[in-house]
Amino acid sequence: MNDLTKTFELFHQITHAPSVRIRKAIADAGLLDIVQYRNITTGDEAARDYNSLNPGDALPVLRSKSNKSEIYLGEESILQWIQKQTLINHRN
């Protein structure tokens, strides 16, 4: 699956500890097919899109591509989303 077909985007920084943990949790949960990683320190477009969310100092941030108001700010919120996705996937 390429980045155009992924349904969520994760705004993160490579060396930021909570971002590292979230990327690992996404991979461990088997969600790489639906999450596009966007490093805000290496791309102007990613940084601009991140800043447009007005996240304050929240990082990482997960956003739905189809429902722009579906945003998860910070590690705990994203971990809860991952758990929910894992439950949904086990039911199907």
Distances (CA, A) of 13 to 1, 39, 47, 81: 22, 5, 10, 19
Domains assigned to the chain: 3-91 (3.40.30.10)
Residues in the chain with pLDDT values less than 70: 1-5, 89-92
Provide the pairing of β-strand 35-39 with 8-12: parallel
Query: Which pTM value belongs to this model?
Result: 0.89
Residue 57: its pLDDT value, please?
Answer: 86
**% pLDDT > 90, the chain:** 73
Predicted local confidence at residue 43, as pLDDT: 75
